[in-house]
Structure 1
Amino acid sequence: MSTPGNDADDDEVPAWARRTAGESRWAATAAVVGILVVQYFLPEEFSAGPSWIVPTIGLALLVVLVIANPVRLDREEVRLRRFSLLLMALLGFGMVWSVAHLVRSLINGSAANDAAGLLSSGGAVWLSNVLVFALWYWDLDRGGPAARAQARKPYPDFLWVQMQNPDLTDPDWEPEFPDYLYLSFTNATAFSPTDVMPMTRWAKLLMMVQSAISLVTVSLVVARAVNVLK
């Protein structure tokens, strides 16, 4: 591992394994806003309480984080980390609530007999699943974006293709939110890892949970929609 300020060593170490300037926060911020918008417009029976509660609390937490770290995610503070984890927990709670109530309504037959409305609600819940897990992967891998910028944890939780093929990769490459979004999307559609391998137990467990949620949501929504259309 290189030492700060040693340019010769830094040239030989890939960006993901050394200190960097930190990634821009705006891709992840856009994902958080997208989840809050989806939560606000979900049908009432799939929302955790009034439709404004989760978006309002989430927006307040997001504003605090943006003010504290407005451009690049390179500032490590215990309070900021707690706010970030609280936001991730809130988004996860809203998503799990929506999935659970969607599945319950499909099983007990109380879901609407409007196939288009059912598919749109199911699609919105599935999209929340993809975005929430992308944020979880991004915020937990090697301690989060600020910890990754400081290269505080040398061992990755996810093994990316670029890590396995350094000779074919830009030495300045390091995983950023779009990479975690890709991981989440492929895991939610293939129901298994594709080219990004989980290395730690928590990463394996989280990917397993996401695949299960996605499989149950898609299969039940499609089955109900087909039953309505017939």
Structure 2
Amino acid sequence: MTQTEKRERTAEPEHRWPAVIATLIALAAYAFLPSVVPAIERYAVVGICLLMVIALVIYNPHHLTRESAWSRRAEIALAIFILVANQIALGETIVRLLNKHGNGYELLLASLQVWLTNVIAFALMYWVLDRGGPVARAMVPRPKLELADFRFPQDEDHDAVDEVARGSSKKADWVPNYIDYFYFSLSNSMAFSPTDTMPLTHRAKLLMALESFAGFVLLALVIARAVSLIG
């Protein structure tokens, strides 16, 4: 990206730390909350993810202003790695519940860990994929951005009342950051459907479907079964 291209945008580059803090919370929950996954496997996943986080923070310590082929791949790989590891934990938790194995309190905490990590991990996936990722969203001229995976309210607020329109994508060069994707992921996991943000691509719809299904299973089967085991 050239300096000329950068000056075409007025959007502020996104800060690195909201995504980092969320990732660390997910890794801490994965490592320390009760889980059906053996400890050595959990710690190995956490160790690999921490190495990737450290490398990405060193490359972009504060604001996300630069990107290379390796950093882009590392961002995507980190999100996929956490997501896949957590889906394995989800599957093993369901198997244990169906086989009536485990303490009810521990299964409740394990369910909480899987659900919380899912919300954060899916938010990371949405964040790294949409419109080419966090660096591209703020730095690349809009006509050159990749196709949007999601449509946010701000993307269509330019013809609303003045105090709303001023913050729209068209008038203020607004772009979503990790907090927007986290809220979207949280609401999708609880409502099992889109709320204020709509999926536009097949990959976005498939990811949302997987997250909704996982949330439904946890609330309708895993948590309900764990509560029945208490006492």
Partners of 1:48 and 1:94 within 8 A in 2: no
CA RMSD after TM alignment: 2.2
Return the TM-score normalized by structure 2: 0.86
How far does residue 71 in structure 1 lie from its aligned partner after superposition? Answer: 1.1
2:157 aligns with 165
**What percent identity do the matched residue pairs reach?**
37
How far does residue 229 in structure 1 lie from its aligned partner after superposition? Answer: 3.9
Uncovered stretches (5+) of structure 2, i.e. residues with no partner:
none
Partners of 1:42 and 1:51 within 8 A in 2: no
Confirm or deny that 1:30 pairs with 2:21.
Answer: yes
Structure 2 Cα separation of the partners of residues 180 and 98 of structure 1: 23
Structure 2 Cα separation of the partners of residues 96 and 84 of structure 1: 19
Equivalent residues in 2 for 1:1-230, closer than 5 Å: 4=4, 18=9, 20-43=11-34, 45-47=36-38, 49-112=40-103, 114=104, 116-151=105-140, 152-153=144-145, 155-166=147-158, 167=160, 168-169=164-165, 170=167, 171-229=172-230
Partners of 1:130 and 1:184 within 8 A in 2: yes
Partners of 1:47 and 1:98 within 8 A in 2: no
Letter paired with 2:71: L
CA deviations on 1:71-119 (whole Å, 9 max, x unpaired) are: 111212101111112211221122111111111111111132x3x3222
Question: Cα gap change, 1:204/1:70 in structure 2, threshold over 3 Å: closer, same or farther?
Answer: same
Letter paired with 1:223: A
How far does residue 42 in structure 1 lie from its aligned partner after superposition? Answer: 3.4
SS of the counterpart of 1:45?
coil
Return the TM-score normalized by structure 1: 0.86
Question: Cα gap change, 1:200/1:37 in structure 2, threshold over 3 Å: closer, same or farther?
Answer: same
Uncovered stretches (5+) of structure 1, i.e. residues with no partner:
11-17
Select between 165-174 and 138-147 the one with higher mean Cα deviation. Answer: 165-174
Question: Cα gap change, 1:227/1:68 in structure 2, threshold over 3 Å: closer, same or farther?
Answer: same
